[in-house]
Amino acid sequence: MAKVYFHVDLDAFFASVEQKEHPEYKGKPVIIGGIPGDRRAVVSTASYEARKYGVHSAMPLVQAVKLCPNGIFIRGNYHHYAEVSQQIMNIFHKYSPEVLQMSIDEAFIDMSGTERLFGPFEKTAMKLKQEVFEKTGLTVSVGISSSMYVAKIASGYRKPDGLTFIPEGDEEKFMLSLPLEKLWGAGTKTQERLKKCGLKTIQSIYEKSLNYLIAIFGENTGTFLYESVRGNKAMNFYREVKNHSISAETTFEFDLTDKDAIESALMELSLSVIMRMHKEKVRTRTVAVKIRYEDFTTFTVQETSEFPVANADDFFERCKRLFYKKYQDARGIRLLGVSADNVEKKDVPVQKELFDFGNEKKSKVEEAIFNFENKHPELKIRKARLIKKSK
């Protein structure tokens, strides 16, 4: 049975939400990510008006301000964007029970076999676009293909408010018509390597044998290149649910050198991760710390213990130990990060520590705090150290 996938992409999502909610921003360059004066912010989303000035995602904010001094700069309300996103995902679910959300602003919809119910796919996609617009005032771009990979690329073919249908059998023709930059999954590094090998177009990759590509780029990337330029790249709709990771990191406005400030930052990051772990009802045995120095060199340290992290104190102590294992004294710290890797559901039984020095009790107290904060988000309970710090 033939498969048909929609890939739906919300156009300049965060900026569009702001423009819709502030009509005075309509038709104006809106830039999400920071406000002038933020030293180390980057652009998260630029409205189409802002893109005309050369502003784009991931660009340092300082540069965006130079290119577009009269732009409307907004730090962004990600919590709110997530709510709007959810509203739109709910609309997708009316078209098919199989919706695979890829991020806050895009999703695949498995539309296989819905033709009898809804009619031709292009018409259905038009209807979906219409419905999203009526309910949220936002536009989306849709790609349709029997290949998820091709659908993903097709949704970016005409933007914003686009609709691109690649009939079955035309995948290869479509891929070959694209510039190399559109090859999703081959980033800056791979693009550079390709160009060094004289492979400057998708067509030129297409002309190489699988063996050649593997010899140059390795098994994985080689096979990826060979399959993707043919539109054969398989992506799995039903991905197995694996243990994931929960992390938090901060880039400081000014480099950190003070031990107290560093430890407070580690504490804050630890709390943020541990609270999210409580929320998800998961635990971890693997803790990692990330340090980025002023010159952007970055190190990570990670440790897997026999026993899961017992509570926030335990988590913080592990982070601190890892930090000092890597820390090069006297270097300014630009970024600190902590993460809980490979988290697993708490309901899976685990070996208990032989001597449980009140860890269980601490953990219970934390959960109580977490539940309290959940009910009263306006009242934040912080560790003494942080309260002292913020005075």
| Per CB under 7 A, 42 contacts DNA | yes
SS3 state of residue 37:
coil
Candidates 228, 311, 339, 363; binder of DNA (CB under 7 A) is: 339
For the bound state, the minimum distance from the C-beta of residue 361 to DNA, rounded and expressed in Å, comes to: 27
Candidates 116, 169, 179, 189; binder of DNA (CB under 7 A) is: 189
Nearer to DNA, 124 or 140 (CB): 140
Nearer to DNA, 126 or 215 (CB): 215
Q: How far apart are CA 136 and CA 24, in angstroms?
A: 17
Segment interacting with DNA, rule: CB under 7 A, options 116-124, 160-168, 212-220, 383-391: 212-220
| Per CB under 7 A, 299 contacts DNA | yes
- Judged by CB under 7 A, the number of residues near DNA is 55
Taking residues 219 to 258 in sequence order and writing x for each that binds DNA by CB under 7 A, - otherwise, the string is xx------------------x--x-xxxxxxxx-------
For the bound state, the minimum distance from the C-beta of residue 220 to DNA, rounded and expressed in Å, comes to: 3
Helix (H) and strand (E) counts for the chain?
15, 14
Identity at 137, one-letter amino acid code: G
* Contact positions with DNA (CB under 7 A) in 59-88: 60, 62-63, 66
CB 6, CB 140: distance < 8 Å:
no
Segment interacting with DNA, rule: CB under 7 A, options 19-27, 214-222, 257-265, 365-373: 214-222
CB 303, CB 295: distance < 8 Å:
no
Nearer to DNA, 96 or 221 (CB): 221
| Cα four-point dihedral sign 39, 41, 47, 51 | positive
| Per CB under 7 A, 311 contacts DNA | no
φ/ψ (deg, to 5) at 113: 80, 10
**Where do runs of H (alpha helix) occur along the chain?**
13-21, 48-51, 61-67, 78-92, 115-118, 121-136, 148-155, 171-176, 188-196, 202-206, 210-228, 259-280, 312-326, 359-375, 384-390
Q: Which residues of 84-103 are buried (b: 16+ CB within 10 A; e: fewer)?
A: bbeebeebbeebbeebbeee
| Per CB under 7 A, 188 contacts DNA | yes
What does DSSP assign to residue 42?
Answer: B
| Per CB under 7 A, 104 contacts DNA | yes
For 113: left if phi > 0, alpha if psi spans -120 to 50, otherwise beta; the answer is left
Candidates 90, 103, 130, 374; binder of DNA (CB under 7 A) is: 103
Please list the active-site residues: 106
Candidates 300, 328, 371, 374; binder of DNA (CB under 7 A) is: 300
For the bound state, the minimum distance from the C-beta of residue 190 to DNA, rounded and expressed in Å, comes to: 3
For the bound state, the minimum distance from the C-beta of residue 37 to DNA, rounded and expressed in Å, comes to: 12
Question: HEC states along 220-275?
Answer: HHHHHHHHHCCCCCCCCCCCCCCCCCEEEEEEEEEEECCHHHHHHHHHHHHHHHHH
CB 141, CB 11: distance < 8 Å:
yes
Candidates 101, 112, 139, 191; binder of DNA (CB under 7 A) is: 191
Binding residues vs DNA (CB under 7 A): 39-42, 44, 57-58, 60, 62-63, 66, 102-106, 184-191, 218-220, 239, 242, 244-251, 272, 276, 285-286, 288, 295-296, 298-304, 334-335, 337, 339
